[in-house]
């Protein structure tokens, strides 16, 4: 067995642990194997000084001690204790005899002569599995599949070492240090992948049922469902990754708690990093719970302004107006201005000359707004929210109109109104002044008329 140093387990005594006794027997057993020349040594059971001893080739090998017997050993009389020791010794004898027979067979001249051919067959089979692993990984996993290939070739080395009597001691380290960890990794990754897909499938089915339960789903609801799905996928992936990491550490026999408890400065650093990540997760959950924005919304934040392309509990990707992609952690989205909700207002302003009839100018602006609304009723309302004289400037009277528009249409409506009002004012003879300045030149004494 791979989890013990020897063929069978030994109990611990006051002077020596069971593992120390097993290592001593392993060393002694290895010397006995080196002396095998094709014949199987005989394993016998003898009684020496009242103790049951297992011998190999008439040499004492292992002594059955009370620590090797079950817990009820002390409650037996002497005769039954001897019978129990004899039963344990017979078990040991059988294990040793079977293993020695296999070792003698592998050390025979016929087996040693066949070893290169067997290794060649194993090598060819490993090449076939290597090609299958490469094809499977590239077709279904979109990766080179290095872990699968490493598992194939480590298994080949372990098997080739195991069947050769000289290299057999190398097989156990290869299996323990390479084959088993990669095997655990593949099993855990596969299980985590299945769990992730099942979690995402359940989340998508719930979202689909939620959509179907609403008779008249709108665009915002669809965007919110998509945002929740992306955030939920990230949450499922995080939970699965943490469980997979803990499972892998447990499979390798690593105590994760002791690592973090004794990490010192590294533990403090991991704690600080973990705090920031948890803070981002908290803000991400808060964004989902309060429905602050969804994928496709145009938002304005202290760090970036643009359209939300993707969202997860850790970060938000925002495509800014200049085309750049900003990846912002959710904890930095302290203030969010969402331009995609319900409606917007186009703040239209224009300056007219002081001699113009302001009431007439406001009527012209309102008339253009109504015409625009009749042509595009889905973009703006026909009646402005308010109109009036906004400011008395240095060279112009500023008129202002606030027009209710559909979400994200305020900028386009404003640009179109600029064009329409400009043409209308030209037609109606309304002047749009520009800043003017009068310069007075002072003639100094002594300057000639020509100057």
Q: What is the pLDDT of residues 232-255, one digit of tens each?
A: 898 899 899 989 988 888 888 777
Q: What radius of gyration, in Å, describes the C-alpha atoms of the chain?
A: 42
Query: Please, what are the domains in the chain?
Result: 18-107 (no CATH), 343-428 (3.30.70.100)
Rounded mean pLDDT of 363-380?
91
At 28, is the pLDDT very low, low, confident or very high (cuts 50, 70, 90)? confident
Cβ burial of 115 (10 Å; 0-12, 13-18, 19+) is: middle
Phi-psi region at 323: left, alpha or beta (left = phi > 0; alpha = psi -120 to 50):
left
**Phi and psi at residue 340, to the nearest 5°:** -105, 10
Percent of the chain at pLDDT > 90 equals 25
Residue 85's pLDDT is what? 82
Residue 259's pLDDT is what? 61
Q: What is the pLDDT of residues 180-223, one digit of tens each?
A: 888 888 889 889 988 999 999 998 888 888 777 766 667 778 88
At 446, is the pLDDT very low, low, confident or very high (cuts 50, 70, 90)? low
Find how far residue 355's CA is from the centre of its chain: 68
**pTM of the complete model:** 0.63
Q: What is the pLDDT of residues 29-46, one digit of tens each?
A: 888 887 777 678 888 888
* Residue (of 446, 372, 437, 365) closest to 410 by Cα position: 372
Percent of the chain at pLDDT > 70 equals 89
Q: What is the spatial distance between Cα 110 and Cα 352, in angstroms, rounded to a whole number?
A: 110
Residue 365's pLDDT is what? 92
* Residue ranges with strand state E in 136-192: none
* Residue (of 288, 293, 287) closest to 308 by Cα position: 293
Q: What is the spatial distance between Cα 250 and Cα 230, in angstroms, rounded to a whole number?
A: 30
Q: What is the spatial distance between Cα 130 and Cα 149, in angstroms, rounded to a whole number?
A: 6
Q: Cβ distance 73 to 79 under 8 Å?
A: no
Q: What is the pLDDT of residues 141-164, one digit of tens each?
A: 777 888 888 889 888 988 888 888
Residue 336's pLDDT is what? 92
Q: What is the pLDDT of residues 290-314, one digit of tens each?
A: 889 999 999 999 999 999 999 988 8
Residue 350's pLDDT is what? 92
The sign of the CA dihedral 396, 401, 402, 404 is negative
Residue 38's pLDDT is what? 67
**Phi and psi at residue 110, to the nearest 5°:** -65, -45
Does 2 score more than 50 pLDDT?
no
Residue 449's pLDDT is what? 55
Residue 448's pLDDT is what? 57
């Amino acid at each position: 067995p791979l989890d013990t140093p020897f063929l069978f387990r030994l109990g611990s005594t006051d002077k020596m642990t069971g593992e120390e006794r097993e290592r001593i027997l392993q060393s002694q057993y290895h010397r006995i194997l080196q002396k095998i020349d094709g014949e199987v040594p005989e394993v016998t059971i003898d009684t020496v000084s009242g103790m049951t001893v297992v011998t190999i080739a008439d040499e004492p090998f292992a002594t059955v001690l009370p620590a090797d017997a079950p817990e009820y050993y002390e409650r037996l009389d002497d005769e039954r204790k001897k019978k129990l020791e004899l039963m344990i010794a017979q078990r040991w004898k059988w294990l040793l005899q079977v293993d020695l027979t296999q070792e003698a067979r592998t050390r025979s001249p016929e087996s040693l002569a066949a070893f290169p051919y067997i290794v060649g067959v194993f090598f060819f089979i490993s090449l076939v599995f290597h090609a299958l692993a490469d094809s499977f990984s590239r077709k279904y996993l979109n990766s080179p599949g290095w872990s699968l290939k490493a598992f194939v070739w480590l298994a080949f080395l372990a098997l080739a070492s195991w069947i050769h009597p000289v290299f057999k001691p190398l097989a156990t380290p290869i299996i323990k240090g390479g084959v088993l960890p990669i095997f655990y990794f593949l099993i855990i990754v596969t299980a985590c992948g299945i769990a992730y897909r099942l979690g995402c499938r359940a989340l998508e089915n719930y979202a689909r049922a939620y959509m179907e339960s609403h008779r008249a789903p709108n665009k915002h609801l669809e965007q919110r469902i998509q945002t929740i799905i992306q955030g939920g996928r990230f949450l499922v992936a995080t939970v699965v990754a943490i469980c997979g990491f803990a499972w892998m550490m447990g499979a390798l026999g690593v105590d994760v708690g002791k690592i973090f408890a004794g990490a010192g400065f590294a533990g403090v650093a991991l704690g600080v990093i973990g705090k920031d990540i948890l803070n981002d997760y908290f803000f991400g959950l808060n964004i989902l719970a309060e429905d602050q924005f969804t994928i496709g919304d145009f938002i304005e934040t202290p760090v970036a302004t643009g359209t939300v392309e993707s969202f997860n509990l850790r970060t938000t990707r925002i495509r800014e107006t200049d085309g750049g992609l900003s990846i912002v952690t959710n904890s930095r989205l302290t203030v969010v201005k969402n331009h995609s909700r319900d409606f917007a207002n186009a703040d239209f302003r224009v300056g007219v000359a002081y001699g113009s009839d302001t009431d007439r100018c406001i009527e012209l602006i309102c008339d253009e707004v109504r015409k625009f609304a009749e042509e595009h009723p889905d973009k703006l309302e026909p009646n402005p929210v308010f109109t009036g004289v906004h400011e008395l400037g240095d060279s112009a009277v500023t008129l202002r109109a606030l027009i209710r528009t559909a979400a994200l249409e305020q900028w386009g409506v404003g640009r179109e109104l600029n064009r329409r009002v400009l043409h209308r004012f030209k037609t109606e003879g309304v002047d749009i002044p520009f800043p003017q300045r009068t310069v007075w030149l002072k003639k100094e004494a002594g300057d000639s008329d020509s100057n």
